[in-house]
A and B are shown apart, each in its own frame.
Chain A
Amino acid sequence: MEPTRDTHATLVDLLDRILDKGLVINADVIISVAGIPLLGVNLRAALAGMETMLKYGVMQDWDEKSRVWEREHRKKTLPSLAEGEEIALKMYGSYYYSKGIYNAWRPGYFYLTDKRLILYRQDFDEITFQIPLEEIKALIMKEEEHFVKDMKKQVLYLLDKQDRVHRLSMVETNQLKDAIEQRIKDMGFYLEENPVLPELEDEQIVGSLMEEERVIHRGKKVWYLVPAEGIQQETWRPGHLYLTDKGLFWWYDFDKKLVLDVSVDKIISVSTDMRKTSSLNSSKEKVLNILYRVNSTKKVALFSGKEIDEWAQVLSHIIPAQQSEETEICPQCGKEAPVKELLEKGCPYCNWVSPRLRKKAQENVARV
């Protein structure tokens, strides 16, 4: 019997080898390809056809599991309601969740009941957003840029009685807005007329960012010591700091414009110290010092605020690393950190370490 190399069946045998086997390099210098097993499966599907792939058992397991999961989760299709609470309207939509550096539209179904507005994710049987109707102070509808270019989408801003802003999006914005207004009226409450959205500085700064620029860190109000200019003395002014992958920006809340714009590679050092920030009293506050380069001279930018420590930490991790390499998202906490640090030391925020590193540490312990 002679071995063969060139038939269709042989091809599958060969591809098994090329895609799944071969010398393994145990080095960090390799470009990792997480997609490869998937690629292999896809390829085999194309070779053998879907039916054969099922026979090969590639998808069966997955298919059955997903069906079981689907069956179990389809049972629960309604959020749990209070006794006597009635659903008036159901509509697909999403809610903009933003906390720290994590922000995303979280999808689900809006349920308008006679008591509340709920966003419910049936897959996880989870209420991701809810507000009692009497807590709603105002509704504002705005047309915004959709992430698909040249598309607009209706966004419903919901102001609560604490003046917090919630950003919602749904299939039929008008319909839901009208329904909420009607319900609130029926309950004997009134919505504020001609409301104004407070602090929409986010949209504006996003407008000033370059294309493909990503915001890595943002936070609460940060005061910036605006340097003296003309007859103006240097003054602390309120605004917001943004760190993107390109630079550090300070947005002046009053004038609604970018006042400070330092590219990341111009930053020389980041430190903090205690100093007097007000002429009214003698107490000292922690101040963030950022030394940066402007042409051939150096300048210092001073910031103060509640989150100065956090900013110092974020900046000190980003600044020295940026010259050398890219950042990666920590698989545990999802924050950005330099790849090298993640791999060699672990995550600076949540102390996550890679399995390889953990193994190495264990080996070291064992050796000792």
Chain B
Amino acid sequence: MAEARYLYCIADSAEKVNFGNIGIEDSEVYTIPYQDLCAVVHNCSPEPYKSEDNEVVKKWAMTHQKVIDTAWERFGTVLPLGFDTIIKGEEGITPDGNMKKWLKGDYENLRQKLGKLKDRAEFGVQVFWAPKIISKGLIETNPEIKKLNEEIKSKSKGLAYMYKQKLENLLKKEIEKEADRYFKDFYERIKRCVDEIKVEKTKKLEEDKQMLMNLSCLLPKEKSKILGDELEKINNTEGFSIRFTGPWPPYSFV
């Protein structure tokens, strides 16, 4: 069977290194240097890694990450690839030949990316909020809502129901406005601490805890404290909480 190369990352080093059997399924991981870069790979057959068993896939993905971590630690700057990126050979060209062809063709681009990502790491920032707490606050502070809320108490049962509907609609609109306002505010504050931000899709959670924003942030590794301090402030705001993950190799910025 023809050979292929499973590609973990591109690293900023021309060093020829053998990392030993730390790869997926205990494969031997080593570098293929090209000029002043290298590709971190293991040898595999030209078939993607597939499994019905999620535990197996999870194990593979975590190994993928571990290998990149190892290379990251050693070489300082890496361009990580997603799981299951495999370079195959073609007629008359070995996988390594193909790899070099690609590295040659994309060299400038890769060099530029490595430059941009030097000493930088990616951090995940997810802001959660509890709309219930926010709406409680709104009932007390928003004059229009406050007035409506007062009026309900004096109405008959049927009318109270109508008013309640009205109040709920109004609350919903106001909460959306609030979300917008908080989003802009937090975004500006976080932006000041980082090089680059990518806004990711938010995910649905439980009723009383919603994801307000999901960000990937790129910043110099040593500056994570500045970001952490700012996030701490947001975390201390009533009704909000933060999930702060990383440092990750810059998956979102390659």
Complex partner residue of B204 from A2, A16, A47, A56, CB under 8 angstroms: A56
Stretch at the interface among B147-155, B162-170, B241-249: B241-249
Whether A43 lies near B84 (C-beta < 8 A) is no
Shortest distance between the CB of B170 and any CB in chain A (Å): 26
Binary contact track B73-108/A, C-beta < 8 Å → 1, others 0: 000000111111111111100010011011001100
**Which of A4, A17, A39 touches B50 (beta carbons < 8 Å)?**
A39
CB < 8 Å neighbour of A31 from B57, B82, B86, B105: B86
Across the interface, which residues of B come within 8 angstroms of A35, CB to CB?
Answer: 48, 50
List residues of A (36-83) whose CB comes within 8 Å of B's CBs.
36, 39, 42-43, 45-47, 55-57
Closest Cβ neighbor of A60 among chain B residues: B204
B58-80: which residues lie under 8 A (CB-CB) from chain A?
58, 61, 64-65, 79-80
CB <8 Å contact, A17 and B88: no
Known contacts being A30-B86, A30-B88, A42-B54, is A22 close to B80, with CB within 8 Å? yes
Residues of A within 8 A of B43 (CB): none
Say how far B77's CB is from chain A's closest CB, in angstroms.
13
- CB of A131 closer than 8 Å to a CB of B: no
In the bound assembly, the distance between CA atoms of A159 and B245 in angstroms comes to 70
Contact A29 B90 (CB under 8 A): yes
Most buried by B among A1, A25, A46, A324: A1
B80 to chain A, nearest CB (A): 5
**By DSSP majority rule, is chain B's interface helix, strand, loop, or mixed?**
mixed
| Residues of the B chain whose Cβ atoms lie less than 8 Å from the Cβ of A19 | 61, 82-83
Whether a CB of chain B sits under 8 angstroms from the CB of A10 is yes
Contact between B46 and A31, CB atoms less than 8 A apart:
yes
On whether the beta carbons of A2 and B88 are closer than 8 Å, the reply is no
The closest CB in chain A to the CB of B252 belongs to: A21
For chain B, give the interface size range: 35 or more
Chain B positions within 8 Å of A45 at CB level: 54
**B133-141, B183-191, B229-237: which lies at the A interface?**
B229-237
Known: A14-B245, A19-B61, A22-B82. A31 touches B252 (CB 8 A): no
Task: Provide the bound-state CA to CA distance between A39 and B54, in Å.
Answer: 8
In angstroms, how far is the closest chain A Cβ from the Cβ of B95?
A: 8
Cα distance A43–B55 when bound, in Å? 8
Complex Cα distance, B81 from A362, in Å, reads: 30
Known: A2-B244, A5-B245, A13-B243. A30 touches B90 (CB 8 A): no
Q: Could you jot down 27 A-B contacts, CB within 8 Å?
A: A1-B229, A1-B244, A2-B228, A3-B247, A4-B245, A10-B245, A13-B243, A15-B61, A17-B252, A18-B61, A19-B61, A21-B252, A23-B9, A23-B82, A25-B7, A25-B81, A26-B106, A27-B102, A29-B89, A29-B102, A30-B86, A31-B4, A31-B48, A35-B48, A39-B50, A55-B206, A57-B203
